[in-house]
């Protein structure tokens, strides 16, 4: 397992990207609109992981609601697992509250599922696994 990425909710990904480009010398490698989640993602690789900027594409999306309620900032931590279904089953059996009981397709062709922050010390946890498609 590894930390796949840290998701950061931002109002404007291009403006937020300036910090990583101009100050830290990092650049994005992939930008994608995920219609089902009403978000634009911008991937910024760093070491064996990445920072994922999350810009809402609709005011009724989850990220837009997060920003409205809490402001910009860390939205989630994503952990890459070998078998997402097995990881979800293990978490459910251990009493963790799942937002997604089954994996769904997310950005970068990854299978994803979220675990509710009320059961993970206040941190929204995303489990992810590269899709076999």
Contact 9, 72 (CB under 8 A): yes
Helix/strand/coil (H, E, C) string of 64-101? HHHHHHHCCEEEEEEEECCCHHHHHHHHHHCCCCECCC
Contact 37, 110 (CB under 8 A): no
Q: Which domain holds residue 25?
A: 2-130
Rg of the chain (C-alpha set): 15
Average pLDDT, whole number, for the chain?
95
Other beta carbons within 10 angstroms of residue 83's beta carbon come to 11
pLDDT at 131 exceeding the cut of 90: no
Rounded to whole angstroms, how far apart are CA atoms 41 and 121?
Answer: 25
CATH of the domain at 109: 3.10.180.10
For 76-114, the pLDDT digits (tens) are 999 999 999 999 999 999 999 999 999 999 988 899 999
Contact 28, 16 (CB under 8 A): no
pLDDT at 63 exceeding the cut of 90: yes
pLDDT at 132 exceeding the cut of 80: no
Percent of the chain with pLDDT over 70: 99
For the question of whether the overall pTM of this predicted structure is more than 0.75, the answer is yes
For 3-19, the pLDDT digits (tens) are 999 999 999 999 999 99
pLDDT of residue 133: 62
Rounded to whole angstroms, how far apart are CA atoms 50 and 108?
Answer: 12
Could you give the number of structural domains in the chain? Answer: 1
């Amino acid at each position: 397992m590894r930390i796949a990425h840290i998701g950061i909710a931002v109002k404007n990904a291009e403006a937020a990207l300036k910090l990583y480009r101009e100050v830290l010398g990092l650049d994005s490698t992939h930008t994608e609109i995920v219609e089902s989640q009403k978000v634009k993602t911008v991937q910024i690789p760093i070491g064996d992981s990445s920072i994922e900027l999350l810009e809402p594409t609709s005011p009724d999306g989850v990220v837009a609601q997060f920003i409205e309620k809490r402001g910009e900032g860390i939205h989630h931590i994503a952990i890459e697992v070998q078998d997402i279904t097995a990881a979800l089953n293990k978490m459910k059996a251990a009493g963790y509250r799942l937002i997604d009981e089954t994996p769904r397709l997310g950005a970068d062709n990854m299978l994803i599922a979220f675990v509710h922050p009320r059961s993970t010390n206040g941190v929204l946890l995303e489990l992810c696994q590269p899709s076999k498609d």
